[in-house]
Structure 1
């Protein structure tokens, strides 16, 4: 006996594949009647829903498929209401999780059919979206999932809004930390706010997000107000907020606010932000080619990046020596470094020689995690708060694990190797075994250009372009590449370190020629309309590549069954996702081209026939067949099995 919920939210009892609704309730008994109004069978339970007896005999057959579908729909609806995950993703996850019969899969509403009703259910639980910064936060959004106060601060600041989120447990954890990190992100910031700002407590070299703020701007007065609010809460909790070390980026307004509010703290800038800023200026000054092709230029740039690793008292002398010996092509780079890093920013702020943790990668990692869970750009405020609530649960879980002795992610071999080298060089220098120039040169060797995701993808595109110029010279190869859409499109930046590397078959383009235009192009993807970066900055003016790209996007001939069928003839070491994609394409083409017999003939000699067993694993044969994804697939490959003499069942290697 189990229970499900009706479309109107009423409880329904399920027993022996029949469904019952509550007819009446007394002080001791609940009377349930069969959902089929022509049937008089009833079930009695006590008020705690314990079974007592069944009364009568049913006048109709059971419908277990209907129960499967209702359970599936109820699970989806519950998640849609309680989660912020995309509805289509919830649908697909529940479809994969629930082992449905073929009949249930056939009568179940498709994702498209269910979408509108599920959207209505979600909207009923979501307040009206704000149209300005002045809006009320409903009570359910002011507390955590456990009904603990979550909004720490909600005030108007300079005709704008300041919101801080966190629990007393998070605050207590933050105030007890000797080292904190701070960083902002913009991609997940809701409308009417300027940035999402997070403050992390560092314990055992691991970061824990404790306070998440929605700030109205990036001015010193706003940061000061943020810190003063936290100090106010520290007083309320009978403690203080005086960290020994603060790590952040090099934003001047923030630096000023930290000096004002935490004058005794050691404020250290993020070493990664330092090298990233230097790298951007190397690009901006047109030195990328010189860096790549000239070892002298490359070595000097790396020595500049290594300056923060020297002892503070040695930095100025090392910089002057490096400047005197640098090639003339780097004059503008040294002028930038001297004016900004040696003058505008205090040396102690970007010197990290005495720190064990030199970057705020803990913050960056959390931002990447949070961006993934929000799963949209500039979400509405209610979606944003719901995601924060889930992160608060994650925080509590992480703290429990830490207190139980769990350790964070171990450092990589490369990180440990670099640290050992830095320590060894420092020892050699302090023992006068090497001079300052040799010390800096040794430190510069691990200092390669920062490899952000964006730069990594751009490098891939550059390399692929060079390869394609060679291989598309052959007409047959060119046709094959076009048919299979084997052409990398472009890296789509979301932030400086995040983005998507899309391929042609993942995008539906309104106008292929517009990609080679000089203005931004709006394209339609599978999920939404997004502004994409153009091809031209990455593929340049190369007429061969441009011509081939347009040919590829407009190609009429698509891959055929003859192209795809060999892909399933040997599935050794292939992933489940790979196999299913091949099955799906073959099935679509077989029915679209009325070529089922061709599939039957080709599959007859295969060592593997794609069947999915009850354990959701691929087998050579299985009885009965179970294809939860698509009835066309079931029909096609069921027919295939009729011409095969199974000799046993074997798992795909």
Structure 2
């Protein structure tokens, strides 16, 4: 704009500054915008084009002197309002940030802190749900003005848009999980549905559920499936009973896998609940054996029970309760009468990820957890109002719209660090070549240990120290034993060849 600053705002009205004078918009015609002097006793006017970025005529004469020192104060207020509207920072943080570049020569015009703090609070006063509990109109659309509410009633609210559902249909591997801390008091959890686009797991559907029963999940999945003919190949969830039953009922023809991260969490919780935490911290052999139990997730399905029996032989009697838990929930408990084994609470196919490792499909829902944590951090408080949470979801959607556009244009938005990529590749090679039936007992346990050692680096950095320390202290012994087994195996093969 010629010799004037770009339009700003005073009390919601477009404002321009020119040669120390302040003008607010008076009216707009078909060809121009007309501004008048902010001083109501002055009849001065100026005229701009409709986009308000160029003066059409020079301003008429004023009846008073200009006030250039008042311009920075107005700009300061506008900047503070803008930050209050789009950020979650505290009032003092916003004010201090805006004051960093405030000209000292105009400090006398600087507003007091109290009015500025009240202004921020007023700016952040949000709309509420109406008498029928419906969300305000602002939350019903994305920042780019697309419809964002798929379903809304007292039992369920679903945030998504048509483009999200289209992407969900195109991508065959789904990931789902719930979070509770950020959920409003009237609902039980925020349940989200994600998919994998290139190397990024992207949130596409957000649901507010009133519970965690199979019926609650059924309603959520039903409303999503009604929108199109989805044909996913797999879905990964936690080990909630309601989630497992719902996936079985609503998506019976797809592969359902449990999240490796949640499986490992459950194992650690059992170590704690059985009073074995001290033993885990102090006994290196016990600690290694527990890791091997979790490493069973990497072995082929038909070799799980063999591997479990081998690992059990390495435990002392004080771990019987822990092993019994694994037998009942994950392995197969032997029947008290007759032969055979009882079905575990969680089928092997649910928690075993050997196939996903070989197919290089993501194993844990870490990215989903990260998305939930990001929303929680932006919410800043536990159990925010539904309007505040809805606003955070809109902001998340806006960010992921940019990510999705970049992905569709061939960009890589998330590059895995080289060290983690190499560890991933090693785990894939080990899992692909794993052959429990052709190895002696030591080598079987060695492979399980190596698998979980790599797994520890990827998902449990706090365990790496123990693993490295154990290996370094026993490296010479382990290597000697390993080579001895190899040599013995070669001699046996030679004897068999000679006798044959």
Does TM-score exceed 0.5, indicating one fold? yes
> What does 1:319-358 align with in structure 2 at a 5 Å threshold?
319-342=308-331, 343-355=344-356, 356=360, 357-358=362-363
Query: Structure 1 residue aligned with 2:168, among 156, 165, 174?
Result: 174
Report matched runs for 1:61-460 at 5 Å: 62-81=66-85, 86-96=90-100, 99-123=101-125, 126-128=126-128, 135-156=133-154, 161-234=155-228, 240-342=229-331, 343-355=344-356, 356=360, 357-426=362-431, 428-430=433-435, 434-435=439-440, 436-448=444-456
Higher relative helix content: 2
CA–CA distance in structure 2, aligned partners of residues 390 and 115 of structure 1: 24
Query: Which residues of 2 match residues 473-492 of structure 1 at below 5 A?
Result: none
Which moved further from structure 2: 81-90 or 68-77? 81-90
Give me the whole-angstrom Cα distance separating, in 2, the residues matched to 1:69 and 1:326: 72
Deviation track 1:343-364 (CA, whole Å, cap 9, x = no partner) reads 1111111100111211011101
Q: For 2:224 and 2:76, how far apart are their aligned partners in 1? A: 45
Q: Which has the higher contact order (CA 8 A, sep 6+)?
A: 2
- C-alpha change, 1:190 and 1:241, in structure 2 (3 Å) is same
Q: Secondary structure at the match of 2:111?
A: coil
Mapped to 1, the partners of 2:150 and 2:353 lie a distance apart of: 33
Are 1:35 and 2:35 counterparts?
no
| 394-403 vs 414-423, greater mean Cα deviation | 414-423
Q: Which residue of 1 is the match for residue 18 of structure 2?
A: 15
TM-score with structure 2 length normalisation?
Answer: 0.80
Q: Which runs of 5+ in 1 are unaligned?
A: 235-239, 457-653
Q: Tell me how far 1:201 sits from its aligned partner.
A: 1.0
Contact preservation (8 Å) 2:213, 2:243: yes
CA contact (8 A) 1:279 1:450 kept: no
Shift of 1:329: 1.8
Q: Which moved more, 1:254-263 or 1:30-39?
A: 30-39
What is the CA distance between 1:322 and its match in structure 2?
1.7
Conservation of the 8 A alpha-carbon contact between 2:129 and 2:136? no
Residues in 1 aligned to 2:123 and 2:221: alpha-carbon distance in whole angstroms: 40
Residues 578-589 of structure 1: pairs in structure 2 closer than 5 A: none
Counterparts in 2 of 1:28 and 1:369: CA distance versus 1, 3 Å:
closer
Kindly indicate whether the alpha-carbon contact (under 8 Å) linking 2:159 and 2:205 is maintained by their aligned counterparts in 1: yes
| Residues 23 and 31, structure 1, Cα contact 8 Å, conserved in 2 | yes
Look up the match of 2:340: none
Cα distance between partner residues in 2 of 1:449 and 1:276: 15
Structure 1 residues 115, 369: closer, same or farther in 2, change over 3 A?
A: same
RMSD of aligned residue pairs (Cα, Å): 2.9
Cα shift at 1:106: 4.9
C-alpha distance in structure 1 between counterparts of 2:373 and 2:93, whole Å = 20
Supply the distance in 2 between the matched residues of 1:81 and 1:427 (Cα, whole angstroms): 52
**Cα 1:171–1:47, aligned 2, differ >3 Å: closer, same or farther?**
same
2:482 maps to what in 1? Answer: none
CA distance 1:283–1:393, change in 2 (3 Å)? same
**CA spacing shift, 1:346–1:13, aligned 2, 3 Å:** same
CA positional deviation for 1:138: 2.5
- After TM superposition, give the deviation of residue 289 of structure 1 in Å: 1.7
Residue 260 of structure 1 and its aligned partner are, at CA, apart by 0.8
State how 1:38-53 maps to structure 2 within 5 Å.
42-45=44-47, 48=50, 49=52, 50-53=55-58
Contact 1:28 1:46 in 2 (8 A): no
Aligned partners of 1:199 and 1:212 also within 8 Å: yes
Judge conservation of contact 1:220–1:253 (CA < 8 Å) in 2: yes
Displacement after TM superposition at 1:145 (Å)? 1.8
Give the TM-score normalised by structure 1.
0.62
Q: Which runs of 5+ in 2 are unaligned?
A: 332-343, 464-500
Q: CA 1:105/1:267 → structure 2, altered by over 3 Å: closer, same or farther?
A: farther
- Deviation at 1:130? 7.5
Corresponding residue for residue 485 of structure 2:
none
Greater shift, 374-383 or 298-307, is seen at 374-383
Residues 252/101 of structure 1: CA separation in 2 closer, same or farther (3 Å cut): same
Q: Aligned pair in 2 of structure 1 residues 186, 89: CA closer, same or farther (>3 Å)?
A: farther
CA distance in 2, matches of 1:307, 1:122: 51
Residues 84, 383 of structure 1: 8 Å contact kept: no
- Superposed CA offset, 1:265-322 (max 9, x none): 1111111111111111112222122112212211211111111011111101111222
Count matched residues.
438
Alignment partners' CA distance in 2, 1:162 and 1:447 = 37
Distance (Å, rounded) in 1 between the aligned partners of 2:28 and 2:206: 48
Structure 2 CA distance for aligned equivalents of residues 359 and 25 of structure 1:
57
